[in-house]
Amino acid sequence: MENQITVLKFGGTSVGDFDKIRAIANYLKERINLGEKLVVVVSAMGKTTDHLLESVQQLSSTPKESALAMLLTTGEQQTISYLSIVLNDLNIAATALTGAQAGIKTKGHHLKSKIITIDASLIKQKLENNDCLIVAGFQGINEFNEMTTLGRGGSDTSAVALAASLNVPCEIYTDVAGVFGTDPRLYPNVKQLHQLSYEEMMEMSSLGAGVLETRSIEIAMNYQIPIYLAKTLSKQKGTWIMSQNEIIERKAVTGVALDQNMQYVTIHYPMNDARLIKMIFNALEEGFINIDMISQIVNEEGLQISFTMKDTDTTQITNIFEEIKTTYPSLIYKMQSNYVKISVIGSGMKDMSGVASKVFITLIDEDIPFYQVTTSEISISYVIDKQNGKHAVQTLCEAFQI
């Protein structure tokens, strides 16, 4: 009988110091002694990646992206080395692998690459002589043999992609007990969710609930890989993220997400010009900038386009607009960070009516104005003033008993 293979991922806070790394090594040993073979994906220790970025700023304001990617991958390489050293001292046959050594092939922007393929046969071959493979998350290698990173939350993507290539479950361990209906810091009475559909988790992640990276959930859904999210080394029950078909009971609203890390962008041009619109969206696509909540108005004053985006792309999008202004000098753009996006999410919305009207009435009754609204099959999102964010979360959680 073959040993069961499981993919586990430990986040940066979980491996934040040597005591935590030793504790995780002992936990892995227990599981290996019970007959499992483990593929363990780890992040950089604590704030290592942030410190690496800060160090670069002392040297250059415009570092070459390939060089920056090479530097940032060293954080995870420290962690895999430390963990493998401790495991081997515990008489566990363990090998540390960079993303490249694990066969993780990527494509695209050096700092926001996407995984194209993973050589599962390479992983299985290495597991023949090892009980545990420790893989550096957040990184891979592109078609030019250059080191790349997968962007924020990329270690989640590494772990789920490895699990998908091996067709095995994925366990993700972090500093939270699982997925909650909203951020407990915003609404302490919120309930934990023990089961969640891929679609609901993907909406929550993309709309501001920073528990799991959106691409990792998309991969899990495409390959039907169940994800278990739980607190590191805790016996507290976590959250299973799985197919909607496996979840018996559905609520109209499962969660409320607040995205506080966004920019509200407004573009004005004195006439309606399709070529300008094409130039803007081509530039956004080439820069891998994700935007949402798009609206367009054309009237006697000209063209106005509004959208929301992550504030981490502010510098990049400013450069894009300044470049476009060389061709369209009358273009006016404004980026505002005094707004937040609040969303209600639930797969039950597909079959239950009245959710949208209840949200509208709840916000109006609480004197919370909203400026833009967008909907999907299982979510409704509103742009509101930042100062009303926490109050809106609490009010909506109470209204829908989250």
CA-to-CA dists, residue 139 to 78, 249, 373, angstroms = 13, 38, 36
Does some domain include residue 108? yes
Question: Does residue 3 sit in helix, strand or coil?
Answer: coil
pLDDT digits (tens, 9 = 90+) for 37-71: 999 999 999 999 989 999 998 998 889 999 999 99
Residue 1 has pLDDT above 60, yes or no: no
Q: Which of 174, 183, 175, 232 is nearest to 204 (CA)?
A: 183
* CA torsion angle 284 287 292 298 (round to 10): -10
Q: Quick one: three-class SS letters along 285-348?
A: HHCCCCEEEEEEEEECCEEEEEEEEEHHHHHHHHHHHHHHHCCCCCCEEEEECCEEEEEEECHH
Does some domain include residue 377? no
**pTM for the whole structure:** 0.81
Does some domain include residue 119? yes
CA distance 80 to 96: 5
Task: State both tokens at 166.
Answer: 């091996």
Does some domain include residue 95? yes
Scan for tokens 């030793």, then name that residue: 22
Domain count for the chain = 1
pLDDT band at 248 (very low <50, low <70, confident <90, very high): low
Query: What's the CATH number where 133 sits?
Result: 3.40.1160.10
Residue 122 has pLDDT above 90, yes or no: yes
DSSP per-residue letters across 155-215: HHHHHHHHHHHHT--EEEEESSSSEESS-TTT-TTPPEESEEEHHHHHHHHHTT-TTS-HH
Lowest mean pLDDT among 52-66, 122-136, 148-162, 342-356: 342-356
Q: Tally the residues of the chain.
A: 402
Residue 2 has pLDDT above 60, yes or no: yes
Which residues are registered as beta bridge partners of 296?
305
| Residue 356: predicted pLDDT | 87
Lowest mean pLDDT among 42-56, 121-135, 139-153, 201-215: 201-215
| Residue 249: predicted pLDDT | 65
Name the more confident of 117 and 287: 117
Does some domain include residue 324? no
Does some domain include residue 114? yes
**What average pLDDT does this structure show over 285-313?**
87
Does some domain include residue 292? no
Supply the range of the domain harboring residue 12: 4-175
**What average pLDDT does this structure show over 87-101?**
97
Does some domain include residue 220? no
Q: What is the DSSP letter of 228?
A: E
Looking at every residue in the chain, the average pLDDT score rounds to 92
Residue 136 has pLDDT above 60, yes or no: yes
Residue 245 has pLDDT above 80, yes or no: no
